[in-house]
């Protein structure tokens, strides 16, 4: 076991501790005193209470405050960039661009609204009337069958407010309204619905 044999007078140690405490008095709320005590068997104990007459004193910083946020400092604009920026701002103020949505019209009479461009065609099941002759009896046969068919779609840009009014209109009996791009309550609360 190796021990430090230097002796310090108790008065000098007390003066040193008092000086240390005086220096740290301002930061007392942000620091905690911890005593380091070496036992005779060589073990070391750390405690918030004195364990002997001459413990080593450690001060531990406690910080519960996050660091201040970093400030954004944009680089200075060159003269031509600043002039260009002013021109763009004037143009935007003179001609504000409204948010646009789309009205999709299929050749079968369906029309619906969505916020992304329409596809060029959709598949629909339509009734088709047929006439013919039964193979086993030779009798004439008439009927209707549902047939899958691809139908072309035309796209028209409309203001977002018009599309939103049509999408969330109550009691709409517009043919194709079930294809409107609606958002559920969860997505609307998350801010994903462009109509809000």
Domains of the chain, by residue range, sit at: 32-62, 100-183
CA distance 161 to 170: 15
Average of per-residue pLDDT across 156-168: 90
pLDDT of 39 > 70? The answer is yes
pLDDT value for 34: 72
How many CA atoms, within 13 angstroms, populate the side-chain half-sphere of residue 93?
A: 6
- The rounded percent of the chain whose pLDDT value lies above 70 is 60
- Could you report the per-residue pLDDT of 57-75, keeping only the tens digit for each? 655 555 556 666 666 666 6
């Amino acid at each position: 076991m190796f021990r430090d044999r230097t002796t310090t007078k108790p008065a000098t140690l007390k003066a040193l501790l008092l000086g240390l405490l005086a220096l740290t008095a301002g930061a007392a709320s942000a620091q905690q005193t911890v005593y380091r005590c070496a036992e005779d068997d060589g073990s070391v104990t750390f405690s918030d209470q004195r364990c002997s007459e001459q413990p080593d004193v450690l001060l531990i910083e406690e910080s519960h405050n996050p660091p201040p946020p970093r400030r954004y400092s944009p680089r200075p604009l060159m003269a031509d960039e600043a002039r260009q920026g002013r021109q763009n701002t004037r143009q935007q103020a003179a001609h504000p661009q409204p948010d646009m949505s789309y009205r999709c019209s299929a050749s079968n009479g369906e029309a619906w609204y969505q916020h992304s461009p329409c596809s060029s065609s959709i598949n629909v099941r339509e009734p088709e009337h047929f006439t013919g002759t039964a193979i086993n009896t030779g009798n004439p046969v008439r009927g209707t069958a549902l047939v899958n068919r691809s139908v072309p779609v035309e796209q028209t840009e409309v203001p977002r407010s018009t599309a939103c009014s049509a999408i969330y209109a109550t009691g709409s009996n517009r043919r194709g309204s079930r294809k409107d791009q609606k958002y559920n309550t969860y997505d609307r609360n998350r801010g994903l619905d462009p109509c809000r």
